[in-house]
Structure formats: C-alpha cells, structure tokens
Structure 1
Amino acid sequence: MQLSGVGVSPGRVDGPRVVVAADLPEPASVPAPVNLDVEAGKIGQAATSVAAVLSDRARSVSGDARSVLETTAAMASDPALLASAEKLVLERSLPAPRAVWEAAGEFMAALRAAGGYLAERARDVADVRDRIVAALLGVTPPGVPELTSPSVLVARDLAPADTAGLDPDLVLALVTSEGGPTSHTAILARALGIPAVVACAGVLDLDSPGLTVDGSAGTVSPSDGKVRASARTPKATWDGVGRLADGHRVKLLANVGSAADAVAAASAGAEGIGLFRTEFCYLSAASEPTEAEQRAAYAAVLAPFAGKPVVVRTLDAGSDKPLAFLPMGEEPNPALGVRGLRVAFDRPELLDRQLSAIASAAADTGVELSVMAPMVATAEEAAWFASRARAAGIARAGVMIEIPAAALCAASILAEVDFVSLGTNDLAQYVFAADRQLGAVAALNDPHQPALLRLVGMVASAGAEAGKPVGVCGEAAADPSLAPILTGLSVTSLSMNAVALAGVGAALREVDLETCRAAAADPNGDTGARSGNRAPARVSPLPGSGCR
C-alpha cells in the first residue's frame, strides 16, 4: 500500500516509525475557580516557565533553529495573549487552562482569517497554547518524544519549535497528514536536509513497524522498520551572494513579517528584503495604529538592512482578514472580495498614512526603499498606487502579481510601475481554484505545476522586454530545485524565508545561465525539476499582451 502526499524536502529513507503525540484535549470549563485572582495569576507563572524552557533550548542550538525557538519563547510571553486569558478568568470564572485555550483560539482564528504567512503562524500559537495548558495541568506537553535511534517521525502536524529542535542524525524523515508546501515544517525540513512529505492523508492510520519515505516523489509506504541506506540532501553552505556558476546575478532576498524575522534573515545572509509583510502591525490593533506607531514598528524591522534594498508591501487586508478598525461587512466569497489594495480605494487616507510612515521609517534606517501593493488586477490600479507612493516621496513603486488577470496583462502593468513581484502562493491558489491552506488540494498548489510556471514565464518575459525587474516572493522561491527554472524564465530575484536562503544559494552556484534556460524549456529534465507526482509539461513564456 502506497500513500501519496506532497514531497517538500527531497531524499528517500527507510526506518522505524515513531508517531508524535496528538494535541492536548480541550480543557473543561468547570469547575469555576474558588479564588479568581489566584487562578488568573497562575497563567503568567505557567507562561514564564514555558518561555524559560524554550529559551534554554534556544541557547543550545544556533542559526535558524535558534531563531525559531526564540520567537516561540517570545510568543509564550506575549502580553496580549496573557491579558486576554486572565480577563476570561476574572470575567467568566473560567479555570486557567480553559481561559488560555479560548484566548489562544481567538488569536488563531484571526491569523487563519488573515491568510498566507499569518495563517501559517496559527500553528505557532497552538504550540504555545498547548505548552502553557500542559504546565497549568502539570502534564507533559505534546510534541516529539525523545529519540534514542534513527526514526521516521509521523504526526498530524509539527510545531515550528519541535521541528527546529530536531536532530538530523536521529530523524530520518518527517511525514505529516496535514500542512502544505508553505508550512513551517516544510521550510525547516529542507533547511535541515531531512526528507519530508506533507498532506499525506491516511498516514496516521498505517499500522506498520516502519515506513519508506520518498520526499522527492511525495510517497510513503509501509516497511519492516529496518534502517537502510538513504539518499539525503546535505546541509547547504552559501557565501551570501546570489549568483550562478557563470557569475550571472540573481538577488536572494528575505520574506519578513517582524523584527525577529528581519534579524534572522540578516544573520542568514539575505541581500535585502524582498517582501516585508506589514500586517503584523495591524493584526491585534483595536484601532488604526498612528503614523508614529507605524513608523516605529516598521523601523524595527528595516534596521538590520541599513544600506540594503528592501521592498515593503502595503497593508494586505480585507473581508477575509478581519481588522477591528476596518469593518467590511459580509461577503458571499471573501477570497474574491474587497482585499489588498481594494481596501484603499474607498479609504485612500489609510494608504496615504501608511506610505508616509513607511517613507519615514526608511529615512530613519537608511534602507534603499521600494513599496508594492497587494492584489492588483489591472494597469489602472497599478498606476493609481504608484501615483500615491510617489506623492508620499517614495521613488520606487511596484505591485504584486498574484491575480491571473495581472499576469496576463503584465506588460501593461509594468508600463506603470518600476518592478513587479510574483506572489506564487496566492497566484497558484487562484489559478487552480485550490485553497492553499487545505491539505486535500495541496498538490495543486505545488509551484512546479506547469500552468503556474507558464504564467511566471509570461510575466518575466514582459519584464525583460520592459527592462524592469521581476521577482518571485512566494514559496516557489524557496525551492532549490525550482530556482534554476525560475532563473531560466528570466526572474531577477528570489525572496524567501531565512531558513531557505543557503539551500537556494548553493543550488544556483551549481548551474550556469544556459543550464537554467534549458531547465525552463524542459522542467521534466535533469536540470532541476523534481520527479514523482510532479509532471510539468514544457513551459515556454508566452508573449505579453497589451491589455489594460
């Protein structure tokens, strides 16, 4: 019996199966505490102990793993989360474990509604929730058991803090029943060189002593549990300069959403920021942050990249990303409603204040600033955004290409802006009508899909004709096997999470431009594309249209 999922980190291994414990059961709402003040006080104490454990673990590792653990430790001490939980104890007489559970649930719902990068962080909150609840109940938190011999880990999903602490010498492979190519598990597995398959339905139901995992083909099969010779990807090294073997430059940039992300990206050698998601500044705000508050928050993120290029994306919000100060009303299909730049059409002052704050933060930190707008569909929308950016004193303006209509009209859009960046995560979601957060359709969101690559080629071709840069900032950019294909399609920069930089940088050093162009013309060949359940057809850039 062979199961299929989505291979997110290459390599083939055989080994004994170890199942990761499931999440904690939902805590009860009764009995009510006798002393509410004492009960509320327990929450801070438990959170402090959890943060201390995570911080101790962070000090024992380095690099990306340390950054992830430090971020999770900070989340465990988040004043907003703790205050919300304490309020539930005092106002609703809930036991502390239940209060933490419900408070975290509210945060997770907001993150999932936000979509994209922020939705992926909901798993982080669930991990912190379970650790604090376990501390309050005096039980062992769920997570990866202590391994004494090389094993294949199987789980519904893995928390980033668990993945970051994995020992590649003991973890032969990772298999999860949920998740997708953009999950934190996928990103860290690639960084650690651990073969991994996600969205593998039914893997938790297998009852066999071991598993054979093929992270390239995305397949999982029962085995006898014996460890056999494996083909694993060694951890990559990179000198911090994105270029091919023949010297052709491809800028390798970072996707960030917080100051911690920016510090990790700078430490990983990113040549700049290719996507700064500004949503983090708004997510829990009851009212629009003032221009001064925005300026300070943005400056904290930009500071590690003084003197380097940064691309700041303006607020990506809308009816599917509920913000307290932006009531949008009900929509029958929020994913196709008022979101991204569309929010600003009726509230241009909101955009203007943000652009002013971004410009001020750039001046404060000395970065080379560019701004771009999300969810742009037409050349007229691109021109409207560019004019407002320039009115705010920002010389370089671009847009995200994440709607198929924008890709089809890339030439006209490029006539209005200085650059474009392909958001392949959302672009794939719209091209294939497949929710990027749904494991059942994760294979359709695989960035190797030929329809997606064809659109990337169209946009990159239009950029080359216009003499303007075309970047990729979706998860496609973080795939070392896809980087040569994207380069061959004339993409000029790749922006990704910090943990992926070294792998992509090392992969590009192994090929020259001629090889990349051959890979783009035949992604089924041996020049970079993965095999197995991916079978892209020939990808040839189509001529850009002149539509508006």
Structure 2
Amino acid sequence: MTELRGVGIGLGVAQGPVARMAEPLPAPSDAPSTIGADEELARVHEAVAAVARELEQRGAQAGGKARDVLEAQAMMAEDPSLAMEVDNRVKQGRTGEWAVADAFAWFRDQLTAMGGYLGERAADLDDVAQRVIAHLRGVPAPGVPDPGHPFVLVAKDLAPADTALLDLDQVLALVTSDGGPTSHTAILAREKSIVAVVGAAAAKDLADGETVIVDAAKGVVTTNPTADELAQAQNRADARAAAASAPLTPGALKDGTAVPLLANLGKPEGAEEAAALGAEGVGLFRTEFLFLSSTHAPTVAQQKESYTKLLAAFPGKKVVVRVLDAGADKPLAFLNDAHEENPALGLRGIRSLRASEDILREQLTALAEADAATEADLWVMAPMVATVEEAEYFTELAREYGVKTAGVMVEVPAAALLADRVLAVADFASIGTNDLTQYTMAADRLLGSVSSYQDPWHPAVLRLIQATGEGGRANGKPVGICGEAAADPLLAVVLVGLGATSLSMAPTALADVRASLLEHTLDDAKRIAAAALDAADAASAREAARDAAARDTNAG
C-alpha cells in the first residue's frame, strides 16, 4: 500500500481502476507544406470553425460554469488576431498543423504575460490547439478515455472541454498531479459533486488498470489497497450517500449553534436548484453576467427584471447581492478601458464604480425596486473595499436608495486588519477567500505557476479571517464567507471557529458542509481553528485541523 497526498475536494471516497488521460499529440513537423497556401488556409479555417462549434455545443449541453468557459474557448479559437498569426505562417509555406501549433503557443505566451483572467485562459489555448491539430490530421482529439467500464480518471490536469461532459456513471473519481484547491478541476468537482484529489504530484506514476482508493476527506490516493481497506471505503461511501438523501435541515453545529448555509450564484436560473439542495438563501449573487456580455451597461429595467427573478425564488430568506465587480480579470470597456500594468491592483471593484458612479446608482435603483416588488431579505455589498472611507461611501449611498442592509466584501488585507472600524459603519462583511488569499500571498489566483500559494488554509489568511470575525463580534455585525474556502467541509468548521456566522458555497457542496458541521460543537470549532492557526504553512494547518477534528470523532 502507498499513499499519494494531494488536496481533497469535499468529503467523498471512491475506488476503482485507473484510466489515464491520453498524452498530447506529437508536435507537428516544421517541414514545408506540400500543398498550396490557399488549400492549407482553407483546411485551417474549416478546422478552427469546426472546433469552435464543437466547443459551443459541448457548452450548451453542459450548462452552468462549464458553458461560460467553453464559450470563452470558442471565442479565443476564432480570435481575429490569432487567426492572422496562423494565416501569416501558412502564407510563409508552413503546414496548417505547424502554423496552428506555433501561433497558438505564441498567443498563449502573450496572454500568460498579462496575468489575471487572460492568464488563466492562456492554458486553455493548448487544449484548443490540440483539438484543431487533431481535426486537421483526421484523428480523435486527446481527451477522456473510454475503457468500457467505470474508472478513476487520472490526468496532469483537465481541460474545460473534457470536464464539461464527463459521464458521471463512468467516472468514479478524479485525480490530478497538478492544480490546487481553486483550479478549474477543483471547482468543477465541487459543482458536480465528483470525488477528487488534486495536486497529487505522484499521481503521474499511476498506471492504467491499477486499483486505487480516492479519499477526498483525507486528501489521499491509496494504491494497492487491501480487501479490508476497500470494504471500509465502500462502507464510508454508502454512509455518505445515505446522509445525502436524508431530510434537509438548516446548517448548525452539534450543539445547535446555527450556521446558515447559503448558495453562491452567478445567474437567477440557478436559484431553484440551490433551494432544492438545501440553500437557506443566497450568500453571493454575482451581477457581472448582466454586464460582461454587453458593450454598454444594461438599463435599470433590464437589471430589475433579473434581480426580481432571483429575489422571488427566496421569499423571506436572505439574498446577498454583490454590486458589479469589474476590472482586473473582468474588464469592461464602458467602465474602465484604460491600460493598466497590473490590473489586479488597479481600478477594480468599488474603485471603478466610484469612477463611473452613474452605473452604481442605476444598479442600486434596480435592486431597490426589485426588493420592493418581492419578499426576500435583500442585502447588498460592495466588492474590493480597502478603506473605512470606502465602506462609509458605499453604505451611505446604498441607504440613500433605500437599501436596508448594506455591507462590504473583505478581500483586501487592509479591510481585514481594520475590520473593527469597517464594521462600525457597514452592516455586515462577507469574506471573499479567493481574492483575500491572492492579495495576502501576493500570488495571482488565476496563474498556474503560483497556484501552490493560492491556498486559503495558510495561517496568514486564517489570521486575517480571524481579525474580521473579531471585528464583527466587537460591533455585533455578521461576518459571512463566500469564497471557495466555505465549500471545504473541514475548513468550514475552522471558519466558524474563527468567527464566521454564515457560509456560502456552490450548492452541490452544501450536503458535505452540513454533515461536517454537525460533527463539532462551537468549542470544538474554536479548538480546531486554533490548531490550524498555530501551524507554519497551509499543508501543516490542514493536517493539524484534521488531527484535532479526528479527536472529536473518536471521542464521540
């Protein structure tokens, strides 16, 4: 028996034979083309269009976040500047395959250098290039294997086009050697409730056909398991399945301390599913979808229609709406089209809204009108608040428009360190752990080369969360969590121990987090959090919390 360690996603456990992702296609030869440039160009244009349509079709079938990612890939495949680079290489006498490989690699490097959202999308270009080259060669694109039986999928990492249409009746679990807790694979695993361990570097040595146990709760992949270990894993899987089908109850700790479990949503259409999965409200509604697909800001009437649809799905329940968070990885030409050397540290969030205050005022108008037309408990918050003055500005403006509960996102370390003063003026705070981790660790959360730093378990991040929780207690104000960290069942317990009063996550993570909270009292949560805080790094913090939590389980 050998244990491979990585980062587990959720509490699931699964077992089965390994099937590895196919290796990338061999690089095209740089030999000159043997056909005319016009014919090569026609081949390339047809292949690119075919791949773009296939990506759009996969996105339409998959829906949700996968659709957005795949539609973005399709647009990148047909980017005019990229097409020009490919055409130029073909006109120089190169083959279509070589031209695509070289131009896509050049374009990928350009995007990588930009960082942020575009830097993340750069990695997707490799997958698109492979698909175009496969089409040109008339061979299947590298992708998810089909061994003819259920399997544990092992890969370096997974491309969006591959993960979008995974057959969950066949894929028992995911194991990747690269990536971290905020990688695309990890996010997808949470969204689709797939058992997964990511960032297990030794997974590259796993062989097709060998049986493994994938234990997300422990972040371990066990090779060559014994019959007893296989039986224990199956018993745990069965018990978890039974718990998931149990009647839904409000989020709470073992001692009855209420911890409302809310949903993160990006569009109103997700509200019904979230409620069915036990969401007690919405902890983060991202309004960007209304703005990102437009060349100009939506009207008040258009916004009101979407907000009303969302609020009507949660009568009497809390719905936290974040006003437009643009800039950095979500640039908008009509809001801020100025070039910035480092947009993650530039005019984004509340800063960009203050620079175009009419957009903020229209959004607050639409939210207030939607609130008046429905029975939900509307809370509105501003993104990327860094100063007490920004908190005062937003809360005063929101109240001017009739918003009863106005708060702030804590994503900048400065806001966490001044949480006692920020929460003296704001009605609540919601911690965005993804950005808070990014700014604490000085590591772009969308850049794969520094993904190892992007771990909310790091004690430096936990201390900032603790400071925010203390600021909330000092002012009698609630402090929620709405980043990916809340979807980690064990970290959820730690967050409550640090002072979080509610947790918001992808709806599919609710069952695991609910079950995890019920295993611990508030005193337990504080003790587990203290153990994590005493660690020196993220890995040891996770291990210390796991050991402390295990003592509760054993004692029970």
TM > 0.5 between the two? yes
1:537 to partner: Cα distance: 12
Q: What residue in structure 2 maps to residue 543 of structure 1?
A: none
Q: Which runs of 5+ in 2 are unaligned?
A: 91-95, 549-556
Q: What residue in structure 2 maps to residue 19 of structure 1?
A: 20
2:378 is the alignment partner of 1:339: no
Letter aligned with residue 153 of structure 2: L
2:272 is the alignment partner of 1:271: no
Q: What residue in structure 1 maps to residue 248 of structure 2?
A: 239
**Any residues of structure 2 matched to 1:274-293 within 5 Å, and which?**
274-293=283-302
Give CA deviations for 1:74-125 in whole Å, capped at 9, x if unaligned: 88789x95997799999x99999999x99xx99x979x9764xx99899999
How far, CA to CA, are the matches of 2:482 and 2:48 in structure 1? 39
**Any residues of structure 2 matched to 1:465-544 within 5 Å, and which?**
465-523=474-532, 534-535=543-544
TM-score, normalised to structure 2, is: 0.74
How far, CA to CA, are the matches of 1:85 and 1:120 in structure 2? 16
| Contact in 1 for aligned 2:295/2:333 (Cα 8 Å) | yes
| Contact in 2 for aligned 1:370/1:395 (Cα 8 Å) | yes
Compared with structure 1, are the counterparts of its residues 326 and 164 closer, same or farther at alpha carbon in structure 2 (3 Å cutoff)? closer
| Contact in 2 for aligned 1:386/1:417 (Cα 8 Å) | yes
SS in 2 for 1:516: helix
Compared with structure 1, are the counterparts of its residues 4 and 70 closer, same or farther at alpha carbon in structure 2 (3 Å cutoff)? closer
SS in 2 for 1:179: coil
| Contact in 2 for aligned 1:356/1:392 (Cα 8 Å) | yes
| Contact in 2 for aligned 1:218/1:533 (Cα 8 Å) | no
SS in 2 for 1:18: strand
Q: What residue in structure 2 maps to residue 368 of structure 1?
A: 377
How far, CA to CA, are the matches of 2:382 and 2:40 in structure 1? 52
Q: What residue in structure 2 maps to residue 158 of structure 1?
A: 158
How far, CA to CA, are the matches of 1:465 and 1:86 in structure 2? 55
Q: What residue in structure 1 maps to residue 7 of structure 2?
A: 6
SS in 2 for 1:390: helix
Compared with structure 1, are the counterparts of its residues 391 and 123 closer, same or farther at alpha carbon in structure 2 (3 Å cutoff)? farther
Q: What residue in structure 2 maps to residue 460 of structure 1?
A: 469
Q: Structure 1 residue aligned with 2:267, among 244, 258, 265?
A: 258
Compared with structure 1, are the counterparts of its residues 228 and 73 closer, same or farther at alpha carbon in structure 2 (3 Å cutoff)? same
Q: What residue in structure 1 maps to residue 338 of structure 2?
A: 329
1:182 to partner: Cα distance: 2.5
1:403 to partner: Cα distance: 1.1
Letter aligned with residue 287 of structure 2: T
SS in 1 for 2:503: strand
How many equivalent pairs are there? Answer: 517
Q: What residue in structure 2 maps to residue 404 of structure 1?
A: 413
How far, CA to CA, are the matches of 1:511 and 1:32 in structure 2? 68
How far, CA to CA, are the matches of 1:431 and 1:494 in structure 2? 21
Give CA deviations for 1:208-242 in whole Å, capped at 9, x if unaligned: 76475554554568769999616355343461522
| Contact in 1 for aligned 2:177/2:202 (Cα 8 Å) | yes
Compared with structure 1, are the counterparts of its residues 251 and 125 closer, same or farther at alpha carbon in structure 2 (3 Å cutoff)? farther
SS in 1 for 2:461: helix
Compared with structure 1, are the counterparts of its residues 42 and 267 closer, same or farther at alpha carbon in structure 2 (3 Å cutoff)? farther
Q: What residue in structure 1 maps to residue 365 of structure 2?
A: 356
TM-score, normalised to structure 1, is: 0.75
| Contact in 2 for aligned 1:370/1:394 (Cα 8 Å) | yes
How far, CA to CA, are the matches of 1:216 and 1:537 in structure 2? 9
Compared with structure 1, are the counterparts of its residues 11 and 477 closer, same or farther at alpha carbon in structure 2 (3 Å cutoff)? closer
How far, CA to CA, are the matches of 2:311 and 2:45 in structure 1? 37
| Contact in 2 for aligned 1:154/1:203 (Cα 8 Å) | yes
Point out the more displaced range, 256-265 or 416-425.
Answer: 256-265
1:408 to partner: Cα distance: 1.0
Letter aligned with residue 494 of structure 1: L
How far, CA to CA, are the matches of 2:478 and 2:277 in structure 1? 23
Letter aligned with residue 468 of structure 2: V
Give CA deviations for 1:231-289 in whole Å, capped at 9, x if unaligned: 35534346152223333211111111123333432332311111111222222322233
How far, CA to CA, are the matches of 2:273 and 2:119 in structure 1? 20
Query: In angstroms, what is the RMSD of aligned CA positions?
Result: 4.9
1:2 to partner: Cα distance: 7.7
1:400 to partner: Cα distance: 0.7
SS in 2 for 1:370: strand
Point out the more displaced range, 174-183 or 20-29.
Answer: 20-29
Letter aligned with residue 446 of structure 2: Q
Compared with structure 1, are the counterparts of its residues 200 and 134 closer, same or farther at alpha carbon in structure 2 (3 Å cutoff)? same
Q: What residue in structure 1 maps to residue 451 of structure 2?
A: 442
1:407 to partner: Cα distance: 0.8
Point out the more displaced range, 183-192 or 416-425.
Answer: 183-192
How far, CA to CA, are the matches of 1:363 and 1:47 in structure 2? 43
1:356 to partner: Cα distance: 1.7
Q: What residue in structure 1 maps to residue 554 of structure 2?
A: none
1:159 to partner: Cα distance: 4.9
How far, CA to CA, are the matches of 1:352 and 1:384 in structure 2? 12
Q: What residue in structure 1 maps to residue 390 of structure 2?
A: 381
1:371 to partner: Cα distance: 1.0
Point out the more displaced range, 424-433 or 167-176.
Answer: 167-176
Compared with structure 1, are the counterparts of its residues 494 and 347 closer, same or farther at alpha carbon in structure 2 (3 Å cutoff)? same
Give the percent of matched residue pairs that are identical in Structure 1 and Structure 2.
46
How far, CA to CA, are the matches of 1:187 and 1:54 in structure 2? 16
Letter aligned with residue 152 of structure 2: V
How far, CA to CA, are the matches of 2:27 and 2:254 in structure 1? 54
Compared with structure 1, are the counterparts of its residues 120 and 84 closer, same or farther at alpha carbon in structure 2 (3 Å cutoff)? closer
Letter aligned with residue 182 of structure 1: T
Q: Which runs of 5+ in 1 are unaligned?
A: 59-67, 540-548
Compared with structure 1, are the counterparts of its residues 290 and 172 closer, same or farther at alpha carbon in structure 2 (3 Å cutoff)? closer
| Contact in 1 for aligned 2:431/2:482 (Cα 8 Å) | yes
2:174 is the alignment partner of 1:174: yes
How far, CA to CA, are the matches of 1:370 and 1:508 in structure 2? 25
| Contact in 1 for aligned 2:10/2:487 (Cα 8 Å) | no
How far, CA to CA, are the matches of 1:71 and 1:190 in structure 2? 12
**Rg (Cα) greater in structure:** 2
Compared with structure 1, are the counterparts of its residues 4 and 386 closer, same or farther at alpha carbon in structure 2 (3 Å cutoff)? same
